[in-house]
């Protein structure tokens, strides 16, 4: 059960570290491999920097929240049997992944509010 507990904390820790890197040390060149890569974010360096910093701050905050929530849920469930704990942990990990995918929405909304369709600031 302790292995599953550590696995529950793995996603939030990776999100915190990745968020911090994107926020403070975003890729200096627009590329198709690393960074927040959408059509809107890759218009120019201004949109690229904005999107990576915004997404990084968002992931950092979400990661901290998920870490605290993961610890609380995991500690509360430690007294349950192994199969219940494993099933709830699986559901929790899936929820964490969904949160990461859904985080695209606020970043794209912020990009749309801040930049015109050609990538110039409003």
pTM above 0.85, yes or no: yes
Domain residues for the domain of 108 are 2-25+36-114
Structure confidence at residue 66 (pLDDT): 93
Tally of structural domains, the chain: 1
Residues 54 and 73: their CA atoms lie apart, in Å, by 28
In a domain, 19, yes or no: yes
Dihedral sign from CA coordinates of 91, 94, 100, 101: negative
Over the stretch 37-65, which tens digit does the pLDDT of each residue have? 999 999 999 999 999 999 999 999 999 99
């Amino acid at each position: 059960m302790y292995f599953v507990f550590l696995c529950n904390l793995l996603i939030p820790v990776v999100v915190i570290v990745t968020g911090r890197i994107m926020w403070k040390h975003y890729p200096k060149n627009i590329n198709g491999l690393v960074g927040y890569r959408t059509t809107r974010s890759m218009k120019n360096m201004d949109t690229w920097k904005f999107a990576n910093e915004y997404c990084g701050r968002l992931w950092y905050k979400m990661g901290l929240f998920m870490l605290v929530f993961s610890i609380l849920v995991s500690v509360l469930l430690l007294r349950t049997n192994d199969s219940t704990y494993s099933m709830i942990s699986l559901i929790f990990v899936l929820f964490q992944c969904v949160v990461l995918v859904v985080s695209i929405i606020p970043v794209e909304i912020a990009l749309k509010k801040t930049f015109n369709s050609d990538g110039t600031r409003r």
